[in-house]
Amino acid sequence: QLQLVESGGGLVQPGGSLRLSCAASTLALHAIGWFRQAPGKEREGISCISSSGGTTNYVDSVKGRFTISRDNAKKTVYLQMNSLKPEDTAVYYCAARLLRCGSQWSEYGYWGQGTQVTVSA
């Protein structure tokens, strides 16, 4: 059973940065997606990295500000978030599926518990 644990969330001022981590019990064969959900809103996929690291994608609202990366030796995927905005406030989740990024959150079978990111002055 693959297990995922997110960390790195917190309170940051607008324009600030955070780096989220997703530690996995096993990682090499899995694509990892980052999702977020704000109160009263639907879950949103924001970024994904394939198992090889050769493919990454981002939702338009975070392009140029967020960077996803992975370290298979450490079984960890990172989401570097820069130039944070109040609208980035949400619970952030990482999720896993085999090999390739999925197009919908329902295609991911393994989920972490989430980490809160709050962007506020």
Question: Looking at residues 53-72, what average pLDDT do you find?
Answer: 97
Query: Taking every pair of C-alpha atoms in the chain, what is the biggest distance, in angstroms?
Result: 40
Q: Across the chain, how many H-helices and E-strands are there?
A: 0, 11
Residue 79 has pLDDT above 90, yes or no: yes
pLDDT digits (tens, 9 = 90+) for 4-55: 999 999 999 999 999 999 999 999 899 999 999 999 999 999 999 999 999 9
pLDDT digits (tens, 9 = 90+) for 93-118: 999 999 999 988 899 999 999 999 99
